[in-house]
Amino acid sequence: MTATTQRPVGAAPGSLALDPHRVAGLLGHAVAGGSPFEVVTPMTGEVVATLAASTTTDVQDAYATARAAQPAWASTAIAERAAILWDYHDRVLSGQSQLLDVVQLESGKARVQAFEEVADVAIVARHYARTAARSLRPRRRAGLYPILSQSVEARVPKGVVGIVSPWNYPLSLSITDTLPALMAGNAVVLRPDPQGSLTALLAVELLRAAGLPREVLQVVLGDGVVGAAVVERADYVCFTGSTATGRRVAQEAGARLVGASLELGGKNALYVAADADLSRTVPGAIRSCFSAAGQLCISTERVLVHESVYDAFVPRFVAAARELRMGTGLRYGYDLGSLVSAAQLERVTAHVEDARAKGAAVLAGGRARPDIGPFAYEATILDGVSAQMLCRDEETFGPVVALYRVASDAAAIALANDTAYGLNASIWTRDIARGRAIASQIRTGTVNINEGYAAAWGSVAAPMGGMKASGIGRRHGVEGIVRFTESQNVTAQRGLPVAPALGLSDERFATVLTGALRVLKAVGRS
C-alpha cells in the first residue's frame, strides 16, 4: 500500500509544513532564544517547522520564573487547580483533530495509535482532578503519647519539577507527568524531545487556555544539553527514555540528593499459554508487538508460545502481520506507520540483518518500505533467535519480534525473566486465576492478562513503572502524585512534655515510661 497524505490544520497549501505564523504562536509558549532547529516529519522526510532552541541562560530564566511563581501556586486551593484539569480534559478531547495531526507529523505513527495519546491525557487529567485532594490531604497518625501527642502527616510540594520527555509518545509523555506535578503544587520546567516539541507546545497552549498560570509551567526546547541543564536544576527529576541515559540522570540526581522517577527501556515478553483463545490472542499480540511501529517502551519484543499451541498460533500470527495496512496518511485506516528517524531505521535494519546472517528465519517482513515513507519498515517476525544475535537481549524499539517455543508455564516465566529489563509483560489464557499466578512470578512493573499493554497503561488508578534496568519510581495512581511531594510530620504536644515532669526523677520517669510502653503493647497500640 502506498503512502497517502492529507494536509493538517495550519499547513501550507500542497505541503505538510505548518504555517509559519502558527509555528510562531506555538513557539511563544517556550523560553527559547537560541539557534534554530528543524522538525522533520518521518512521514515524508519534509521539514514541517523550524523552531528556536533554548540556551543554558534560557533554562536558568525558566527556573527563576518557575521558582518565583511556585509558592503562590502551592497556596492555590486544590479545587481551583482541579478545575483547570477538568477544563483541560474537555479541550484535549474537543481539539483532538489538530493534536492527532501534529502527533503523527512528529512521530510518524498511525492515527489510531496517536489517539491512544489523546485518550491517555484525558484519562490522566480526569483522574488527578478527581483524586488529588484525597491523595494529598493531611492524615492523622498515632502520636507518642495517646491523646497528648497529636501527629499529622502533610504532603509538601517538592518545588520545581524538571521533566525530560522522549519523542515516541510526544503528547502523552510530555503532559501526563506534568499534570500530577502541577496538581501537587509544584511548578514545572518541561523539556520535550526536539522531535516532539510541536506536540508539547500545542498541549501546553491548551493547558494555558484552560487557565493554568503561564509562569508555573515553563517549556524549554533543544537537545540533550538542554535536557541536562533541566536535570541539573530540578528539585525533583522525571525522566522517560533509554536506560543508558537514565543511569546518568540518576547519578546527577543522586549527587545533588534530589529524588527522581525514571521509566526506561524494556524487552517485554508476551506469553501464549496452552489454553489461550487464539481468536483473541492473535490480534491482541499483533497490537502489542506493532503499535507505534514497536516504538513503545511497553510493547512486546518477545512472544513465548506454549508448544501445544505453537503450530496453531504461529501461522495465524504471521498471516496477520503480513496483512497489516501500512501508510503515512493523516487519517484513520492504517495499522502501521513509520519509524521516527534514519537512526531508528538503521538500528532496526541492523538487528534484523544480524539475526538473518546468524541463522534466524524471517517469517514476515524484514525489509524497509521507502515507497511508504523514508523510514518505514515492515512488521517483522523472527524465528530461531539465539543468544549470539543483537535482538536477543538488546531493545530493538521497532516493529520486530522474536518467537520462542516453551514447554510449560514455568519455562515461560523463566524466559520472561531472562532479561536485564522489567517493564511490562502480557499473558494470554482463558483462566484469569492462572494468569494472575503466572504474573506474580514475572519481575515486571506491569503485567497485562489478555491484553498487550493498554489495559495496565490505561488503568491510571494503579501505579505503572519498571523493575530492574527498566527504571525506578511509578507514574499513575497515588504514587504518581505523591512522588512530587515530601512527607512532613507535624506533631503538637499537649500537657506533659516528653521528659521528666510532675516532680519525677529521671529514674522514676524511666520506670513509669517503661510500664506505659508495656501497657501500650498489651492493648495493641502501635
Q: Which residues are catalytic?
A: 263, 297
Tell me the DSSP string of 177-206: THHHHHHTT-EEEEE--GGGHHHHHHHHHH
The CA distance from 255 to 157, in Å, is 21
**Inter-residue contact 91 to 129 (CB < 8 Å):** no
Q: Is 122 exposed, middle or buried (0-12, 13-18, 19+ CB in 10 A)?
A: middle
List all residues 6 or more positions away from 345 whose beta carbon is below 8 Å from its beta carbon.
339, 368, 374, 375, 377
Residue 465 in grid coordinates: 513503572
Closest residue by Cα to residue 387 from 423, 426, 419: 419
**Separation between Cα atoms, residue 320 and residue 287, nearest integer Å:** 10
- Cα separation, 127 vs 73, in Å, equals 20
Give 70: exposed, middle or buried? Use CB within 10 Å, 0-12, 13-18, 19+.
Answer: buried
In 272-289, which positions are buried (b, 16+ CB within 10 angstroms) versus exposed (e)? bbbebebeebbebbbbbb
Can you tell me the distance from the alpha carbon of 31 to that of 54, in angstroms, rounded to the nearest whole number?
Answer: 6
